[in-house]
Structure formats: C-alpha cells, structure tokens
Amino acid sequence: MTKRLECIRLHILYSKKGYSLIELMVVIIIISIIAAVSVKTLMTASDTVRTERSKDEMDELAFAVAGNPDLVSGGTRTDFGYVGDVGSMPGSLDALVINPGGFATWNGPYLKDDYLAASGGANSEFKVDDWGSAYIYSSGVTITSTGSGQAITRKIANSVSDLLYNRVAVTVTDINQNPPGPIYKDSINVLLTYPNGTGGTVTIARAPASDGFVQIDSVPIGLHRLRTVYLPDNDTLRRKVAVNPGELALVDVQLFSNPWGSGGGAGSGTVIIRPDGVGNYTQHTSSGCSSNWQCVNDVTSDGDGSYVIIGSGPWAQDSYQAEDPSGSGAIDSIVIYILVRSTGSGQLARTTLVVNGNLYTGGNNNLNSSPTYTVFSTIYATNPDTSSPWTWAELNDIQIGVGLKDQARCTQVWAEIF
C-alpha cells in the first residue's frame, strides 16, 4: 500500500503544468497598465490638491491686501487690509508681513509667515504657490500662480481706482431734518480723516452747500473717521464711515439741535473777512493780478483766473492784512479757509495766521495730485498768542494767508468769525 501511494504522489508531482512565457508576459502587461493608471490618478489628485491649496492661499493674500468683505459687525464691513490702513497698494507681498517704511498707520502683519516672518525673505511660504513657484504680483489688482504650468489668477478688485479713489457724500441737517440753507451753511465743517498712502493721515475739510450736501473724492477704502463740527459752539459729532471698493459712501448726519432756527453764532452773527493788503510774508508768486493779496480775495472763486503759486521746493508763506471786522459780543472762534489745488504729486498746503507779529500755521494738507480746487480750514477757538478768548480789537490786527509747498497754488483765502 505504501509503495502504491508513493507512486501516485510522484505521478501527480511530475504531471503538474507551469505558466507559459506568454501567460507571464500578459500578466506583466496588465500589472503595468494598472500601475500607470494608478500613478496618473495619484498625480492628478495631487495637482488638484495643490491647485486648491494655492487658491486658498491666494484668497488669504487678497484679503491681506484689501480686506475680507465677509467680516462685518453691525451691518458694517470692518476689515480692509493693508490698503484700508495705509491708503495705497503694497509695493510687494513683503509689505503684508513687514512694515515697508515705518508707517504709523500700518497695522500688520496681515497674514502669517511660518518661515521668515522677521525678514520676509525669498523663502517665505506665503510668497510661493504649492509647487514652489513665486506668486506674480506687481502692485496691481491680481495675484497669479504659475507653478501648475497654467496661470491661476485671483482678482483683488476690479481696478486700482476701486481701492484708492472712492467718494464719500455727507448730508447735514438739524434735528428737524432741515438743511442749513445759504445763511448757515458756513457754520458747519465736515472733516474726513483717512490714510494718505505714505504712513500718515490727511484730513479734508468741507463746508456743505445750502442743501447740506458735501462730497469728498479720491478716498481709499477703509473705516475712516468723520467729524461734523458746528463751528459757533465747536460742537462735534464723530462717527466711522466704511468706504467699500468702487462704491459711493452715503452718510446722513443729523445734529442734536436746531441751530438754523436759533440764530446761533457770535455777536451779530457770522462775519466774513478777506485779504485787503500786504502782510508780513510775501513768498509766493502772483498770477493774474498785480499783488498777491488781490489774487486770493475774491468773494466768488475765479479758479485759475488769479492765484498765488510757489515754485518747487520747501514751504513758503503768504500773509495778508485782513479787513477789519465789525461786531460785538463774545467771539466763539475764528476759522481760516484756503481754496487750493495741486499741479503735481507730493504737494501740500496749510493756513497761516499772524497775530502780534507771530506766525501760526495750520496742519499740513496733502493735495493728493488732485487738479480740483479744495477747501481746507483751521479753527482757532482762542487767540493762539494769548490762549485767551478773542477780542474784536485783536481781530482788527490779524493777518490771514496760506502756506504752500512744491508748486501748489491757492486762489482764495478768507476767515469767518463766529
């Protein structure tokens, strides 16, 4: 029996067939095809992941430049990124993590840099896409990734103008929703403060029209400070105004009283005085008139018909003898106004006041390369020479004027007494 079983085992062993070469080749080809398909699928999945991660990072970069519109509080957008704080486009992506020039208004970093947050160097992860290629950005409104072999672009805004040159319109009424009218329109001063693009701020002051309407142009996006001052009482209403890209910001300001009906103001009411002679300072050049003071004493502005201008260079001042005001009673304040415009970039203007031979200047106003004449003003609630309330005798001896820098020009100067 044992011998018989051994024979059967040997028969089975030697009669068992193996795989042919053709069968092995078929199996190898099938495995290769499966492997190739798997690798391609994995590569496609990897590129999809890299694309989505790069898109997410470009979203973060866009929000760092111009803010996230979905961040809202009380119905008002609160995030405007670098542009909202500085008032200009970042010159490079580095400016989103490093203050580019010691700017006082820079409030970054606006995004996280895991590698070189201290230096913003070339290896900073926020500057490259998921393939390791540098994002393309050149102070414009797009950020582009090219690492995938195709351009993937994220638009920050429709245009640079939508981010930097918007309008704010303010309508001022009293508690009964009455506008100031032609008599009281000059008793209101609307002041908007926003970043000037170089790390500081600029304040634009406007008196409303008779219907209470004021418009301020060339305003960057952001959450900006708006003040409405009723000059006779120096009473100020303060609020924040959200300026969104490419939109007109509409603001209604309602005073807490009805000053138009109360006959408010100093003494017999608002008194306006204008230049009527040469003062202590004559550093500007006249155009369209024989004397500097005659170029700026128009009751109604003649624009470029007559003006004073300063050549390129540092500050220069003009001061003019002013008309003697007639009035009585307590004086609440004096406001000096100048109507000025730029003829190029980087030009500044400010009010001047001479009291008892001493020169006082208002804040520097950046004209923002605007060829449109703009009103700026300075309020003096007290005599800066004595720090005491004004007297009518003192006002009979003051000089008013304008300071200009680097080819700015002025066409009108006046003062109002309340």
Kindly report, residue by residue over 176-210, the tens digit of the pLDDT.
888 888 778 888 999 999 999 999 999 999 989 88
Burial class (CB in 10 A: 0-12, 13-18, 19+), 68: middle
What is the per-residue pLDDT for 369?
72
Q: Give the C-alpha separation, 151 to 210, whole Å.
A: 54
What is the per-residue pLDDT for 18?
60
Q: Give yes or no for residue 259 having a pLDDT over 80.
A: no
Which string of DSSP letters, residue by residue, matches 184-252?
HGGGEEEEEEEE-SSSSEEEEEE---TTSEEEEEEE-SEEEEEEEEETTTTEEEEEEEEE-TT-EEEEE
Q: Give the C-alpha separation, 306 to 298, whole Å.
A: 9
Look-up of token digits 């009673």 = 329
Domain coordinates in residue numbering, the chain:
52-161, 165-264, 265-418
Percent share of the chain, pLDDT over 70: 87
- Would the pTM of this model clear 0.85, i.e. be above it? no
Q: Give the C-alpha separation, 81 to 93, whole Å.
A: 13
Note whether 154 and 200 are within 8 A (CB): no
Tell how strand 188-195 and strand 201-206 pair up: antiparallel
Kindly report, residue by residue over 294-325, the tens digit of the pLDDT.
999 998 888 899 999 987 778 999 999 999 98
Q: How many CB atoms lie within 10 A of CB 212?
A: 24
Residue 223 Ramachandran class (φ > 0 left, ψ -120 to 50 alpha, else beta):
beta
Give the mean pLDDT of 81-93: 95
Q: Give yes or no for residue 87 having a pLDDT over 90.
A: yes
Alpha carbon 305 to its chain centroid, in Å, reads 32
Q: How many CB atoms lie within 10 A of CB 186?
A: 18
Q: Give yes or no for residue 8 having a pLDDT over 70.
A: no
Q: Looking at the domain covering 265-418, what would its CATH class be?
A: mainly beta
User: Confidence class of residue 17 from pLDDT cuts 50, 70 and 90?
Assistant: low
Q: Give the C-alpha separation, 239 to 222, whole Å.
A: 13
Residue 325 gets which letter from DSSP?
P
Tell how strand 374-380 and strand 285-287 pair up: unpaired
Give the mean pLDDT of 145-163: 93
At the second CATH level, the architecture of 165-264 is: Sandwich (2.60)
What is the per-residue pLDDT for 6?
59
Kindly report, residue by residue over 329-370, the tens digit of the pLDDT.
788 789 899 999 998 888 999 999 999 999 999 989 988 777
